[in-house]
Structure 1
Amino acid sequence: MPRPRSLTPDRIASAALTVIDRDGLAGFTMRAVATELSMSAMALYRYVDDRGELERLVVEGVLDRIDTDPPDPELPWADRVTIMVGRMRAAVAAHPAIASLVPVHRHRSRAVLRWTETVLGLLTEAGLTGQRRVVALRGLLSYLLGAIQLEHLGPLAGPGTAVLAELAPEAFPYLADTARTARHISPDAEFDGGLALFLRGLADPPRPRPG
């Protein structure tokens, strides 16, 4: 195959994302991306070291579209954090197959660093500093990244829920009932409800550990 005249990181990331959107991560290979770029796999290695570098380019390309400017300062801090979290969720939702790549490569993403800096500013304005701010940020990221993956890779109301809903009530009364209820909860309601519970907890003073 002829070598492209101009092959920039953005063009490589775009081709890789096209492959992922079309074929999923199972079809995401150096050869598939090279074919998308009309070049040989060996030629692609002149531009990127391995699949891991391709993944990082894709994650950066998707998340770089996030608006990291602080939301309206007139809003309550929890609403502002909710908006920032929603921006990240929306960016990943546009390309759900990358959901599992975001936690792996987030530390090297300039877009995530900018997003995190804005969120830390909002947490600071809410009075969270020092250790509480560390715990708040990590808890927020754990919820956000975990919920995104569950939403796209194993949703609460997904096919697996039907199996759980058929469990014997006498053996799993709470699990079976919860699974049946989950069928009627939308992804937005599930995500927003969990986030609201988390943010409400941040507003409460920390409690001593039992025992």
Structure 2
Amino acid sequence: MPVSQPVRPERRRAPRNSLNPDRILDAAVTLLDRDGIESFTMRALAEQLGVATMAVYSYFKGKDEIHDAVALRLLNTIELPPSGSADPGCELRDVCRGVYRLFTEHPSALPLLTLRPVRGGDAIAVIERMLALLCRSGLRPDEAARVQVALMQYTVGSALWNIRRARALRDESVRDRVRAKLDTLPAERYPALVALAPELMCAKGDGTAQYELGLDAMLRGLLPERPGTTA
């Protein structure tokens, strides 16, 4: 009897004339968030879409153009609070939280927005709002510039820390290994670590809550005290 050959599953093709820039960018965001900017290729994007690679080139010249378009699309997802509130500190807090949320929900935003210049005014709009709020809070121009950089450094750093921590904790054994390591530390050499081990394990739970705790502390320490408030 003739040996039957295994049937290869057909690659699903996109319906004819269904490709468009928005669909390409949707797929690009998915790939970049999942695999990272280093693994992103036009071929992988075409396979994700179920089309020939040249079909993607009909809309975008190459990876750099797609990276720029994705960066601008992600920036547009930052929900800036209404301007003109009575408390610029609260408004500034909302802006920082929006930037943090973007970076944690879309890991690809970190390299796209921090390792290469972004073509477009959306990133500038975020910086402009932060600087304006810092000046409204009573800081001198030089202080406002330095505090804006400090807030962005903390926000970006916290997002990167929590992205990597979340990836590590997907392996359930990681948390057990951390707890076991803390349990074996000699108390006479690391008294603070041993004493606070339960609190440290709890603090690893909610990255957003941890970020907001630090953000509130920074804003209290860096912004001038408003009339009618107490320390």
Between structure 1 and structure 2, the one with the greater Rg is 2
Aligned-pair distance for 1:146? 0.8
Aligned-pair distance for 1:132? 0.9
Which range moved further: 52-61 or 185-194? Answer: 52-61
| Pair 1:192-2:203 in alignment | no
> How many residues are aligned here?
201
Aligned-pair distance for 1:142? 0.2
CA 1:190 to 1:33, structure 2 compared with 1: closer, same or farther past 3 Å?
same
Secondary structure of 1:18's partner? helix
CA distance in 1, matches of 2:125, 2:64: 22
The one of the two structures with greater contact order (alpha-carbon pairs below 8 A, sep at least 6) is 2
CA 1:165 to 1:77, structure 2 compared with 1: closer, same or farther past 3 Å?
farther
| Pair 1:20-2:32 in alignment | yes
Aligned-pair distance for 1:153? 1.6
Once the two structures are superposed, what CA deviation does each residue of 1:61-96 show, in whole Å capped at 9, x if it has no partner? 12212233544612x222111111112223334334
Q: CA RMSD in A?
A: 3.3
Once the two structures are superposed, what CA deviation does each residue of 1:181-206 show, in whole Å capped at 9, x if it has no partner? 2321222321111101211221269x
| Alignment counterpart, residue 152 of structure 1, candidates 154, 163, 169 | 163
Partner amino acid, structure 2, of 1:54: I
| Pair 1:31-2:51 in alignment | no
Partner amino acid, structure 2, of 1:126: S
Is the contact made by 2:88 and 2:134 (CA closer than 8 Å) also made in structure 1?
yes
- Among all aligned residue pairs of Structure 1 and Structure 2, give the percentage whose two residues are the same amino acid: 25
Aligned-pair distance for 1:166? 4.5
List runs of 5+ in structure 1 lacking aligned partners.
Answer: 206-211
Secondary structure of 1:65's partner? coil
With the length of structure 1 as denominator, give the TM-score of the two structures.
0.75
Secondary structure of 1:17's partner? helix
